[in-house]
Structure 1
Amino acid sequence: MEVMLVDFQLCRRSSPALDLNYLLFSSLTANERSRCLTRLLDDYYSTFRAVLIAAGSVPSFTQEQFTQEFHNKSMFGLIFGALAVPALMCDARDAQEFSVASDDHTVDYVMKKRESALRMLSSNPLMQPRLLSLYEDVTRHAPDSSRAPRDLECSQGKPATAATYSLPESHASA
C-alpha cells in the first residue's frame, strides 16, 4: 500500500518552488540540505513531471529552470524556516498559546513571546545553530540581485492546476 499525505494548510496558486523551500528550510538542517539538495531537487522535479504526464500534461519549465526558481525563492524558505523552527523545536512550556492573545492583552502577549524566544535561544543548544544555518544557506544560494527574478507563475485565466505553471513571457527565452 502506498500512502501520500496532502497538506492544505498553505493552499495557494504559486510556484512549486515555494512549497519545496518551505519544506526543506523548516525541516532539514543546513548539513542535510547541503548534502542532499541536488538529489532532492532532482527527485522533486522528476516526480512532479511524472504526475503531470500521468495527468495528460507536461511542465512548461525545465529542471534547470525549476532549480534556478528554487534558489530565487530561497528567501521564502528563510522566512518560513525562521518562523517554523522555533515552534518545532520549543520546549512544551514555550509552546504557542493562541487562546491568550486578545486585544486587551496584546502588549503582555507580545512581551511574553519575546521573553520566550530569548529563553529558547539561550536554553536550547540546537536553536541558535539551526537558525544561523538558515541565514547562511540563503546567503549562499540567494539569486544575484543584478538579474531580473525568474518566477514560475501560474498563467492567468486558466484553472489552478500544476500544468498551468510556466515562466513569464519576459523570461521564457532567458
Structure 2
Amino acid sequence: MSPPSMDGHEALGDKVLTMDLVTACLEADKGKDVVLKSFEVKNFTAAGDGLASQVTGVLVDYQSAGRDHQVSYVAKINKPSKHSDTVLLLREYFEKEQGFYTEIVPVLNEELRRAGLRSLNIPRCLLVQSKKGEEVIFLEDLRERGFKKRDCRQGLDEAHCNLVFGELARLHAASVLLQEKSKVDLLESYPYLFDCYEKEDFPYESYHHVFGGVIGGIGEAAQKIGGYEKVAHYIKEVLKPQYISLYRQGLQSTYIKALVQTDCWVNNFLFRYNEDGVPEEVVLIDFQFVRRSSPSVDIICVLCSSTERDFRHTHRSKILRAYYEVFKGVLQAGGLEPDFTVDDLEKDYESRRVFGFLLGIVFSGATLRQDGKGFHMDDLGDKNDETVIQEIEEKVGSMLDDPVIRDRIVSILDDIASSGIV
C-alpha cells in the first residue's frame, strides 16, 4: 500500500542527480564510448504522484560516434523525511525495489526464456545508487515507447484489466518457476522480500497513524453521507483500531504462494494505446512493496483500488478464470502444473474481503486527490499522534465535495454494507 504523499522536495533531483551519476547511467545504457554533453532534470509527475519516492525525468544530450543524440531516463529518488519511522521504512522499501530490479527480474526473465516465453513487461533498470540519503534507481523512460498512465480518477475497465491481470499472472507464475528451480527458499536468497509486515513486532507503528486518520475519516464520511450508520461504526470501531493487524493478516501467504507486487493500483501500470485509443500493452511499475504472498493479494488490490463496484462484482469470476488460464499456461510452458485450482483461488480471494475493504478505504481516501493537498508523512513530525489523526480525518471529510472521490467512497461503503459482516 502506497504511503501518503510527501510533496515539497522539488529540488531533490537537482541535488542528487550529479554529472558523474548521469554519466554512469548513460554509459550503462549506451556503452562506454559516449560523451555526456549536458542533462536537465525535468519533472513530469502530477500532484499526488510519487508517494514514496520522487520520480523525475532526466533529459540527456550526448555524443556517440561523432553524432549528437538525446535520450530520456526516469530517476526514482528516495525521499527524505523529518519523521524517523518514515526514514527507516522508506529506506527498507527502496532497498527492496533495488534488489528486485537488479537481482530478481533477471532470473525471472531467464525462467521465462527457458520456457520459450517473452520477458516480463517491466522497465529496464539501468543503474542504482545505494548511497545513504541519495538512493536512486535509473529506469528507461517508457514514454519514449508510447506508454502512459491512465487517469486514476477513471479507474480500469475490462480492456485495461485484461492486460493488467495477464501480466500479473506472468509475474506470479515466473516466480513459481524460479522457486521450483531453486534449491533455496526465495526468502533466504532475497532476504529483503521479508519486510516489516512479517516481523513479529511491527517496528513502524507511529507511521500508520496517518492511515488511521484516513480510515477514521472515511468512517466520519460515512456518517455525513447518511444511511451507513452500521458501516461507519464498523470502520471506526473495528477497522481503524485493528488496521495494522488486519492489513498484516491480509498479506499473509497461504498454500498459494508467488512473488506479488502488492501495490497494484492504476497509477502503477503504464499502457500503450493504438490509434483508436484501445490499450494494447501494459508495463508494471513500482516494486517497493514486492513480497511473497498469495496472487489474490494483487488481484484484490487492483479490483478494490482501481475499478468501479459494479464492474468488480460482475466481472470478478471472469477475471479470476482468465488470470488462472494465463498463470497455468506459463507454468505448463515451464514444465509444471498449478498446485491449486481456480476454485481455490476464488476461495482465497474471498477470505481476504476485509483486506479488500482496507485497500478500498485507503485508496479512495488518499490517492485520488490531484491538487497536491493530500496527506504528507511530514504531517507526523513532532506533532501529537492524535492531532495528526484528527487533521487527516478532517482532510478526508473535505474530499466529499469532489464527486469522483465521493462516488469511490460510497462504492466501498456499499461493499462493506452488502458483505454480511456488519
TM over 0.5: yes
2:409 to 125, 131, 150: 131
1:29 corresponds to which residue?
308
1:98 to 377, 387, 391: 377
| Letter of the structure 2 residue corresponding to residue 41 of structure 1 | L
Give the C-alpha shift of residue 83 in structure 1. 0.7
2:351 corresponds to which residue?
72
Paired residue total: 142
The answer to whether structure 1 residue 82 and structure 2 residue 392 are counterparts is: no
> Post-superposition, which runs of at least 4 consecutive aligned residues in structure 1 deviate over 6 A?
none
Q: Mapping of 1:23-172 within 5 angstroms? A: 23-104=302-383, 106-121=385-400, 123-138=401-416, 140=418
| Letter of the structure 1 residue corresponding to residue 377 of structure 2 | F
Q: Percent identity?
A: 26
Give the C-alpha shift of residue 66 in structure 1. 0.9
Distance 2:348 2:334 in 1: 23
Higher alpha-carbon deviation: 7-16 or 64-73: 7-16
Distance 1:15 1:47 in 2: 16
Give the C-alpha shift of residue 129 in structure 1. 3.1
More helix by share: 1
Higher alpha-carbon deviation: 19-28 or 3-12: 3-12
* RMSD, matched Cα: 2.6
Query: 1:117–1:21: structure 2 CA closer, same or farther, 3 Å change rule?
Result: same
Give the C-alpha shift of residue 26 in structure 1. 0.4
Give the C-alpha shift of residue 141 in structure 1. 5.8
More strand by share: 2
Q: What whole-Å deviation, never above 9, does each CA across 1:38-58 have from its counterpart, x for those lacking one?
A: 221111111122222233322
| Letter of the structure 2 residue corresponding to residue 130 of structure 1 | R
Query: 1:100–1:88: structure 2 CA closer, same or farther, 3 Å change rule?
Result: closer
Give the C-alpha shift of residue 90 in structure 1. 1.6
Unmatched segments (≥5 aa) in structure 1: 145-174
Contact 1:71–1:141 (8 Å) recurs in 2: no
Q: What whole-Å deviation, never above 9, does each CA across 1:66-123 have from its counterpart, x for those lacking one?
A: 11221221221111111112222224143222223213454443232111011012x1
Query: 1:48–1:114: structure 2 CA closer, same or farther, 3 Å change rule?
Result: same
Distance 1:55 1:74 in 2: 32
Query: 1:137–1:51: structure 2 CA closer, same or farther, 3 Å change rule?
Result: farther
Give the C-alpha shift of residue 25 in structure 1. 0.3
TM-score (norm. length: structure 1): 0.68
Q: What whole-Å deviation, never above 9, does each CA across 1:4-57 have from its counterpart, x for those lacking one?
A: 415423322221112111111001010221232222111111112222223332
Give the C-alpha shift of residue 65 in structure 1. 1.3
Query: 1:46–1:139: structure 2 CA closer, same or farther, 3 Å change rule?
Result: farther
Distance 1:108 1:72 in 2: 34
| Letter of the structure 2 residue corresponding to residue 116 of structure 1 | K
Q: RCO greater where, 1 or 2, for CA within 8 Å and sep 6 or more?
A: 1
| Letter of the structure 2 residue corresponding to residue 137 of structure 1 | D
2:30 corresponds to which residue?
none
Determine helix, strand or coil for the equivalent of 2:284.
Answer: coil
Contact 1:49–1:59 (8 Å) recurs in 2: yes
